[in-house]
Amino acid sequence: MAETVSHHLGKGRLVAVEGSLQISKSEKDGRTYTNPQVIANEVRFLDWPKDSKKGNGQSAGYDDDNFDVPF
């Protein structure tokens, strides 16, 4: 499912993500780095892509009623 999401998402798209956020810290050369990681259980697309291949504002592979991508 991650491949499907990566194919349909792009900069500026609106999505809702249900899941959790994990924060880890690491140190390198005396600096501390904070590394957030999103663990998604469900991704919901909230808009249609602007450059749709169907020509009617809908993206290929999705219909009006099924816009969720569960993981």
pLDDT band at residue 70 using 50, 70 and 90 as cut-offs: low
Q: Can you say how many angstroms the Cα of residue 37 is from the centroid of all Cα atoms in its chain? A: 12
Show the beta-strand stretches assigned E in 1-71.
15-28, 31-45, 68-70
4-61 per-position pLDDT tens digit: 888 888 888 999 999 999 999 999 999 999 999 999 999 999 998 776 554 444 444 4
**At residue 62, does pLDDT exceed 70?**
no
pLDDT band at residue 67 using 50, 70 and 90 as cut-offs: low
Q: How far apart are CA 44 and CA 16, in angstroms?
A: 5
The pLDDT value recorded for residue 50 is: 75
Tokens of 9: 């998402």
